[in-house]
Amino acid sequence: MEEKGPSRPLLWVNPNDRRGEPIDEALIQAAHRIFSRVVYLTGQFLHDEASAPQILEESVHAVWEAIRNKSEGEQIVSLEAYLFRTVVRNLGQRRARESRISYGYALEDLGRMSASRNEDWPSAIVRELEAEELLSYADHRTRELYVHRALGDSWGETAKGMGISSADNARNLFRYGVQKALERILSRKRSSPNSGEV
């Protein structure tokens, strides 16, 4: 039986802006033309191709707002280029935000671990590194669920904060995301040329 590779995300852009007014079709078509590049960049920057459609849709809405706010004399020469630059800025901001969050947690955890005399803190650091590796293979939603839980939110609070219908659904989405991340890690280790070496 042939094994399927990971599926590519699909793009659907809401044709209306936040006010409910239609977005120019030329901008939506430009989004479709650059989508494969956005998927590639999202994979490179965030290691999460699945978030490419969301990032591109947010960028389309940001560009549409910029277009609406420009005066009649101002004009965007290339929608594709302008949209692509907006996506790159969005990716850079997300990457910086995720790095700050990870760095902050690492410092807090190290402080707690080194202050704790009851716990074998080197083992705790190893567990933290394992969690970091797992999260690096997880999709954006799973990482966001993790952040909510790490901050002490209940599953109900996490679900409400992320717009998920129930605490059980949030918990199940997290379990599913962790399972997929583990599968990615195992798949990568199996395909690694040095996977048999110790």
> pLDDT in tens for each of the 198 residues of the chain?
444 545 667 777 888 888 888 988 999 999 999 998 888 888 877 788 888 899 999 999 999 988 888 766 677 778 888 888 888 888 877 877 766 555 555 555 555 545 555 555 556 556 666 677 777 778 888 888 887 787 778 899 889 888 899 999 999 999 898 888 888 877 877 776 554 443
8 Å CB contact between 98 and 46: yes
Q: How wide is the angle at C-alpha 102 spanned by C-alphas 194 and 113, nearest 5°?
A: 90
Compute the distance between CA of residue 125 and CA of residue 186 in angstroms, rounded to an integer.
22
Tokens of 34: 């650059």
Give the model's pLDDT for residue 137: 79
* Sign of the C-alpha dihedral computed for residues 15, 19, 21 and 24 taken in this order: negative
Q: What is the DSSP letter of 151?
A: T
Supply the pTM of this predicted model: 0.47
Give the model's pLDDT for residue 196: 46
3-state SS, residue 74: coil
Compute the distance between CA of residue 14 and CA of residue 183 in angstroms, rounded to an integer.
32
- Domain parsing of the chain, residue ranges: 9-100
> Residue 145's CB: how many other CB atoms inside 10 A?
26
